Structures are given as C-alpha cells and as structure tokens.
Homo-oligomer: A and B are copies of this chain.
C-alpha cells in the first residue's frame, strides 16, 4: 500500500538509492496555483545537511512537476512530482548486501519478499519521505484556503527539553557513534469543526495511522494522551461555556470528530538505528556476524521528522475535509 488517503490520494514511489523518488496526487481540487517554488522550501527543510544537527548527505532534491498543472494552476488531473537522485552512492552499501542491520527493516523485507534492495534500505529508507513532504506541501496550500495551519516543535531529545541541551545530547551521541530519540508535538490551528467520521474513520484514528506510519515513530498520543490513565473524569472532561470549551484535554477531537479547537498530537521517535558501535547480527545465510555501520547517518532524526509529521497531518486533514464537503449542499436542498 503506497497510497494514502481516500479523497486526496497520494501514491509514492522510489528507493533511497534508485533513480528517483516521487508522488502522484489524485483528487486535488482544480484551480490551485502551484509551482515547484511552493514545494521546494519544505523539501529543503527535510533535507539532511541543512543544519548542524543532521547528516552530511548532499542532495539538491529539486522537485519537478510532470503533470496536472497547466498555466500555473492545478487542473483536476493527477499531479506527478518527481525528485531525481543526484547523490546516490549505492556502492556504499555493498558491504551490507548480506547482513541484516539491527533496528532496520532488512530482516523483515527479506523475509516478506524473498528479495531486497539493500542500497541504503531501498524503499524502507527515510529518504522515502521526500515524496510525502512534496505532497504535503500541496495539501498545506489547499488547507490554507480554509485557514488551517500546522506547526510542530521538539518536546524532548533523550530527556533534554531545552534547545541547547538538545543540541548537546545530539552532539554527544554523534561523538560516541550512538544515537538518540525524542518526542515531537504537532499542532493544528484553525481546524473546522466536524472533520472525521464515527467508528472506523475517526480523525484521531486517521492521525494515528498517518503518524505511526512514519519510519521510527513508536507512539502517538492526542491531547492528554497517556496522561489520561492518571486523571479523573472530572479532571479530564473539557467543560463548556457560552464562549467555548474551558480546556482542551481532548486535543481538539471528541468522538473522532474535530471540535474546532487546536488539534494537539505528540509522537515518540526512536533513536536512529544506524550506529557506529559494534552490534550482533546475522547474515542472509544465518551466520552470526558483528556489524559496525559506517557512512553518513544522523544521530537523531527528530528534527527531520518534523516536516514529515506536518505533511502527514496536512494530508490527513485535507482528506477528511474533502470527505465532509460532499454533504454540504444536501442540507440546503432538503428544506
């Protein structure tokens, strides 16, 4: 399943060290002004090497729009966006051809497919998110027409919560050849009331799938999240006054449907699986080996997950908004 969404459908393709990565977006409203300049800044933000915190791989990541835009505007036809690879170094990975890296999908892909593109993780690489971010940038343009805005912040990295302390944790991890995880919070403001569907299409369920599906994410919580386990109903319920809700413990969603308050989601991101320290593993013949992974790897992917998480939330919200729009004009006709 390389397609996300029911209404604003994003199909992605491409491997870490293949020829190109890309996305085809089907179901985009016609009439949206769109050019590569709308996409590029978000891709640049996702890119490694754009800060002292991240790895050294240098990719221009120049997006091209192959279809679906005519005279600068979306036409309703599917929009294909492609980023051709310019700094692929598949030969870096020849050593890993026969070995399952701990924490990576090497073992499960081999078991599932009987086959594996070992070049930098192939399809399981974080580089796959280039396509998500490109599609998310377009979703954000659409959402902006409704006043919806999405942003995120790093809550903590390896226990540290202040920027300097976070940088220090990352620096130390890099120095030791190890890696660190952390927690991100993503917030949506300006969300219309009524998005999401009861039972299996709940907005929180869709958000959970969207964010848990990002590589390295191991937990998702909404509003008070896991803290609800320690709260009383009288503490956790959001009481209402004529002026609105008195609190937002629910994180902007009740019964799976948006309340109009800010949507607040937190995700846990695991420490990068690629570390320079020696680890026990086996090769494809089952023989035990010790592996020390070299090459360019971020010791902490939390900052790079930020634009990806924002993109996935944008895709989710636009999809539910289109779902809800279907019924708007019936009400007027019923009278």
Instruction: Encode A306-329 as 1/0 by CB contact (under 8 A) with B.
Output: 000000000000000011111111
A62 at the interface (CB under 8 A from B): no
**Looking at the complex, which of A40-48, A53-61, A190-198 is the stretch in contact with chain B?**
A190-198
- A259: chain B residues at CB < 8 Å are 107-108
Asked if B1 contacts A229 (CB within 8 A), the reply is no
Which residues of chain B come closer than 8 Å to A327, judged between CB atoms?
Answer: 29-30, 76, 322, 325
- Chain A: how many interface residues by the 8 Å CB criterion? 156
Which of chain B's residues have a CB closer than 8 A to the CB of A156? Answer: 229
B251 near A218: Cβ-Cβ < 8 Å:
yes
Find residues 109-124 in chain A having any chain B CB closer than 8 Å to their own CB: 109, 111-117, 119, 122-124
Assuming the contacts A236-B271, A240-B282, A268-B226, asked whether A117 and B77 have C-beta atoms less than 8 A apart, the reply is: yes
Q: What chain B residues lie within 8 Å of A113 (beta carbons)?
A: 30-31, 75-76
A325 B328 Cβ-Cβ under 8 A: yes
Hey, what's the 0/1 contact readout for A1-16 against B, CB within 8 Å counting as 1? 1111011010111110
A11 touches B14 (CB 8 A): no
Task: With A225-B268, A272-B233 as known contacts, state yes or no: A257 contacts B199, CB within 8 Å.
Answer: no
Q: Smallest Cβ distance from A87 to chain B, in angstroms?
A: 17
Query: Among the listed B112, B275, B281, B325, which residue makes an inter-chain contact with A194, where contact means beta carbons less than 8 Å apart?
Result: B112
Residue A19 CB within 8 A of the other chain:
yes
A230: CB under 8 A from chain B? Answer: yes
The residues of B that contact A109 with a CB separation of less than 8 Å are 76, 198, 255, 257
Contact A145 B333 (CB under 8 A): yes
Asked if B117 and A75 sit within 8 Å, CB to CB, the answer is: yes
